[in-house]
Amino acid sequence: MGFLDGLKKFGLGALENEELYEDPKKKEQKEEEKKPAVVINEETLLFDKKYTCPICETQFDVKTLRSGKVRMKSQDMDLRPVYNEMDPSKYEVVTCPRCGYSVLAKFFAPLTKFQIDEVKSKISSNYKKQTFGTKTYSYEEARVRYELAIASAMVKKAKNSEKAYLCLKMAWLIRGETEHLDPSAPDYEEKKKKNEAEEKELLKKALDGFVLARQSESQIAGMDETTTDYLMAAVAMEVDEFDIAIRMISNILTSRTANSRIKDKANELKEIVAEKKKAAQAAAAAPEG
């Protein structure tokens, strides 16, 4: 018997099951559910940015995200940002449509004669001209652009940090593609499994590059030392390189310059690494069959 049962005689029985106090969090959730789904036209978030290829001097346009047009929804453990409207990682590689030279926009810069000659002889001379989307880039097109960027970085002898960062960004791209797969598609499970394997392989290559870069480069992809250590720890955890993860976390926790926010994140990651390492050891010790 409810405390508002007496309302029935007034014809207000429907109110007897109403909650006396409303949880603010539930209220916000209800309001979000009532809001109509906003359909984002990805094309409207982009503009054509002009570049001049340092290899063949061709002028071309690249689809580029307009500043301030997307909002970060969350951040993965390895610092990958997730946005509400679309996946910006599809638009971060600059590719010359004539000669194939490709590079992350943040690394676009003049090249040495040696680098130009190497790209011309090892990429441009064999490159088959590609046509990319005129309005937006698909994940498939973005993958090709990242592959070309990694190949370009290899032949021009780019810094280890640039190559590692490219591998990381491509891993994030594939993760984004996986998140956008249609679960009702007949090949969903197969595609998801393949993507996850490719993502992990790229994360391993990224970690290898970051380890080498940290030994010889003063700054990696514009990140400070503490952020680099955290990123390496998170990626190491994802690919089961627990010793590297623990070492990087220790660097952060004993650092005199790391702020409390990054130390809190490092402590959270430390617990996850410990749990994952314990589970891996248990699985390895379990008898087969």
Q: How many domains are contained in the chain?
A: 2
Paired residues of 48 in beta bridges = 63
Of the three residues 166, 198, 220, the one that is the final residue of a domain is 220
Secondary structure class of 51 (helix, strand, coil) = strand
Do strands 72-75 and 81-83 pair parallel, antiparallel, or not at all (unpaired)? antiparallel
Average confidence (pLDDT) over 222-243: 96
Cβ neighbours, 10 Å, residue 15: 11
Residue 214 shares a structural domain with residue 227:
no
Residue 166 shares a structural domain with residue 189:
yes
Residue 82 shares a structural domain with residue 163:
yes
For 44, what's the count of Cα atoms within 13 Å in the CB-facing half-sphere?
6
SS3 of 61-122: the string is EEEEECCCCCCEEEECCCCCEEECCCCHHHHCEEECCCCCCEEEHHHCCCCCHHHHHHHHHH
Residue 148 shares a structural domain with residue 233:
no
Whether 34 maps to a domain, the answer reads no
| pLDDT over 70 percentage in the chain | 87
pLDDT tens, position by position, 147-176: 999 999 999 999 999 999 999 999 999 999
pLDDT tens, position by position, 189-213: 999 999 999 999 999 999 999 999 9
Q: How many whole angstroms separate alpha carbon 233 and alpha carbon 247? A: 8
How far from 162 is each of 53, 82, 103, 153, 280, CA to CA, in Å? 19, 22, 9, 8, 31
On whether the CB atoms of residues 179 and 217 are closer than 8 A, the answer is: no
Confidence (pLDDT) at 209: 97
Q: How many whole angstroms separate alpha carbon 173 and alpha carbon 76? A: 13
- Which residue range forms the structural domain that includes residue 278? 223-282
Residue 256 shares a structural domain with residue 172:
no
Q: How many whole angstroms separate alpha carbon 246 and alpha carbon 270? A: 7
pLDDT tens, position by position, 68-119: 889 999 999 999 999 988 999 999 999 999 999 999 999 999 999 999 999 9
Residue type, 125: S
